Amino acid sequence: MSDALLEVRDLVKHFPIGGGMFTKPVGVVRAIDGVSFSIRKGETLGLVGESGCGKTTTGRCILQLERPTSGSIVFEGIDMVTLDAAELRAVRRRVQVIFQDPYSSLNPRMTIGQILAEPLKVHGIRRDKGERELRVRELLAQVGLLPQHDKRYPHQLSGGQRQRVGIARALAMEPALIVCDEPVSALDVSIQAQIINLLEDLQSRLGLTYLFIAHDLSVVRHISDRVAVMYLGKIAELADRKAIYDEPLHPYTRALLSAVPIPDPKIEAKRERTVLRGEVPSALKPPSGCVFHPRCPIAVDRCSAEIPPLREIRPGHWAACHLA
Ligand code: SF4
């Protein structure tokens, strides 16, 4: 895709288990097992799946907090996987993260003003103290906080305000891509909508691109242009938002959607639910063939023997299912 800001190709991340300096690992957790997708400039890609599906590890590989086992992560035309530490430093500035729990990532002994000024100083984005103070005020205003918030400490703010600080800190680096790792999961529902609206507003004003990671499809519905559904280290389905919600092709996506409540009680009472059998299997010993087959309500014999490739079933609509 020519206008892609980020291209992830055949990404694999395995974590060896056990073993020491002189002993071999006893197993391998296949956290990501051949994931490919791209994100266009200015787009939001929702990345959804249950806990342990590999979505957060995918985000961490893009942020280079984890080095992939294999595959490429091309950002603005540069494969980040091939860069050394010094080269990475420059690229990293352009890829920022917003965490689920900003409280644990904000230094409790620093004021909000100091927290926001620190990256400006460390990365030489604003060398002059006066310029930094001006930029901190600008950042606070951009995320809907008041100038006087710069004197407060993290514990003096509400959860929503702290997440606004987390967003401002990401913006301070003037990024092109922001990995939003479950940024609203820890917040009250009423605050969630405010933060999502703020992220959308910032995207249109600053031309930002988002990878928005979430564990259910209801959260990403509003904000995503396209959605990728992950299951046990692989992409099960990837399509435009409308296609994912209106015409899901993969049984796992259909099951996730059936768990999303519908506000209309009449429709809610009538619709059929797909309840998945059992738990997500361990990534230490994934099932043979289609990794979803032990839980799939429509599995056939072939499913336990053959891995279904991710195929473009309709233009722009990809699914990894033999029966799609
Ligand atoms: Fe279900 Fe088979 Fe499709 Fe996998 S390939 S999702 S087991 S029908």
Ligand 1, pocket-test mutation among 303, 310, 311, most atoms within 8 A of CB:
303
Q: For 111-130, give the DSSP string.
A: -HHHHHHHHHHHTTSS-SHH
Cross-strand bridge partners of residue 227: 46, 239
Q: Which of 105, 138, 144, 108 is nearest to 120 (CA)?
A: 138
Ligand 1, pocket-test mutation among 280, 288, 293, 300, most atoms within 8 A of CB:
293
- Angle, CA of 308, 313 and 318, to the nearest 5°: 70
> Beta strand 78-79 with 177-181: parallel, antiparallel or unpaired?
unpaired
**Residue 128 buriedness (CB in 10 A; 0-12 / 13-18 / 19+):** exposed
* Ligand 1 lined by 251 (C-beta under 6 Å): yes
pLDDT of the chain along its 324 residues, tens only? 458 999 999 999 999 887 776 777 788 999 999 999 999 999 999 999 988 899 999 999 999 999 999 999 999 999 999 998 888 888 888 999 999 887 788 899 999 999 999 999 988 888 889 999 999 999 999 999 999 999 999 999 999 999 999 999 999 999 999 999 999 988 888 899 999 999 999 999 999 999 999 988 888 988 999 999 999 999 999 999 999 999 999 999 999 998 777 766 776 676 677 778 788 888 889 999 999 999 999 999 999 999 999 999 999 999 999 999
Q: Which of 227, 225, 177 is nearest to 202 (CA)?
A: 177
**114 Cβ partners below 8 Å, 6+ apart?**
none
Residue whose pair of structure tokens reads 């401002």 in the numeric block: 168
Name the strand (E) or helix (H) holding 206. Answer: helix 189-206
Atom of ligand 1 nearest to the CA of 252: 6
C-alpha to C-alpha distance for 296 and 252, rounded to whole angstroms:
7
Q: How far is the CA of 299 from the centre of ligand 1 (A)?
A: 5
> Beta strand 78-79 with 70-75: parallel, antiparallel or unpaired?
antiparallel
CATH 2.40.30.10 assigned to 4-94+175-319: no
Q: Which of 51, 68, 60 is nearest to 9 (CA)?
A: 68
